[in-house]
Amino acid sequence: MSGVWGSKVKLSIFGESHGKAIGINIDGIKPGIELDLDYINKEMKRRAPGGSELSTPRKEEDNFEILSGYFNGRTTGTPLCAIIYNKNQHSKDYEKTKNLMRPSHGDLTGHVKYQGFNDYRGGGHFSGRITAPLVFAGAICKQILEKKGIFIGSHIKSIAKIEDVSFNMTEIENEILKSLNESKFPVLTEEIGINMKNSIVRAKEEMDSLGGVIETAVNNLPVGLGEPFFDSVESVLSHLLFSIPGVKGVEFGEGFNISKMKGSEANDGFYVENEKIKTYSNNNGGILGGITNGMPLVFRTAVKPTPSIARIQDTVDIEKKENAKIEIKGRHDPCIIPRALPVVEAAAAIAIIQFID
């Protein structure tokens, strides 16, 4: 198994959901960068479980401890390592069903690939809990970007079939992105947000779960970031986004909808304003030829419904090799979307840092 990613800034993640701790090692952060630890803590709290009735009852503070690469308030330039201790595991919930493969989880594939030696408790290394170290790394990258005037923000575009409005893709104010980061349930339309929350509560009462879509914008990117083909902004960002457990789709700009347009409708016409080249529309989401064009980078991430639900489901007993039923016990999110926003933003920040000098 390889838990390593990146070229300019390299990440190495480790740990399991019910192990002693999870963490990350970050290689490539320049020396002398002043880190706001309160900023990092705030990002960690956005993702942390147990924050509301819409999330899992598992309470984890997600307090981090920096072990290396940080001294006297600044980065040293050496590998920066951080650890997050797990403190609220209920591992016994998984003992009775350890041979029953949970539908839509990594249980079956993990068992086969790692010959049954994988830690099955809470999904082990396959768990969404491992996204906490990514948020830590993303919080560092977001700080670096914000000092350069680059801001990242997201809102809940949809929960199941309930949809919020989209960003105005040609002009997005930094203050809107900042305010979304401060919200516990970030939407652009408050009334729609209430309907979304009610639908999540109903799904929880029905022992079911819901998925949704996150829309993310990155403001003030310079023109020229990225490379054509293999190191395009889309391919690097998508690589990280699809590493987030539960992500099943990514689209940029108008995404799949652009296939329904004519060329005359899809093309983003250019114009000059104050000696700066802009586009009248932003159907391509701020990227042309794999390279940023100076318009807002806009993308959407589709996340499947939380697969851990309390209803009885069909499965197999991997040891007996026979059909079986499973009733999943434990503490799980009826909808992971609100807690997934900071993870998606972290992925965006980490990806963009790969292109920044």
* Residue 41 half-sphere exposure toward CB, CA atoms < 13 A: 6
Of the listed ranges 55-69, 97-111, 197-211, the one predicted with least confidence? 55-69
Q: Which residues line the annotated binding site for FMN?
A: 125-127, 289, 304-308, 331
Give percent of the chain with pLDDT exceeding 70: 95
**Model pLDDT, residue 59:** 67
Residue from 346, 341, 252 nearest 297 by CA: 252
How does 67-92 read in b/e, with b if 16+ C-beta sit within 10 Å? Answer: eebbeeeebbeeebbbbbbbeebeee
CA atoms within 13 A on the CB side of 285: 23
User: For 206-328, where are the alpha helices, taking DSSP H only?
Assistant: 233-241, 263-266
48 touches 58 (CB < 8 A) = no
User: Measured between alpha carbons, how far is residue 215 from residues 235, 328, 329, 343 in Å?
Assistant: 17, 31, 32, 12
How many contiguous H segments (helices) and E segments (strands) does the chain have?
8, 18
Please state the pTM of the whole predicted model: 0.94
**301-349 residue pLDDT tens:** 999 999 999 999 999 999 999 999 999 877 788 999 999 999 999 999 9
User: Which helix H or strand E contains 326, and what residues bound it?
Assistant: strand 322-327
Please state the residue numbers annotated as binding site for NADP(+). 47
What is the predicted pLDDT for the residue at 176? 97
Cα 75 from Cα 326, distance rounded (Å): 48
Phi/psi of residue 259, nearest 5 degrees: -70, -15
Place of tokens 């947000």: 193
- Average pLDDT estimate for 124-144: 94
pLDDT (0 to 100) of residue 322: 96
The third-level CATH classification (topology) of the domain covering 4-353 is: Chorismate synthase, AroC fold (3.60.150)
Q: Which residues are annotated as a binding site?
A: 47, 125-127, 289, 304-308, 331
The structural domains of the chain, with segments of one domain joined by +, span 4-353
pLDDT tens across 14-25, in order?
999 888 999 999
43, 47, 50, 51 alpha-carbon torsion, rounded to 10°: 50
Q: Name every residue whose Cβ is closer than 8 Å to that of residue 142 and which is 6 or more positions away in sequence.
A: 39, 43, 152, 345, 346, 349
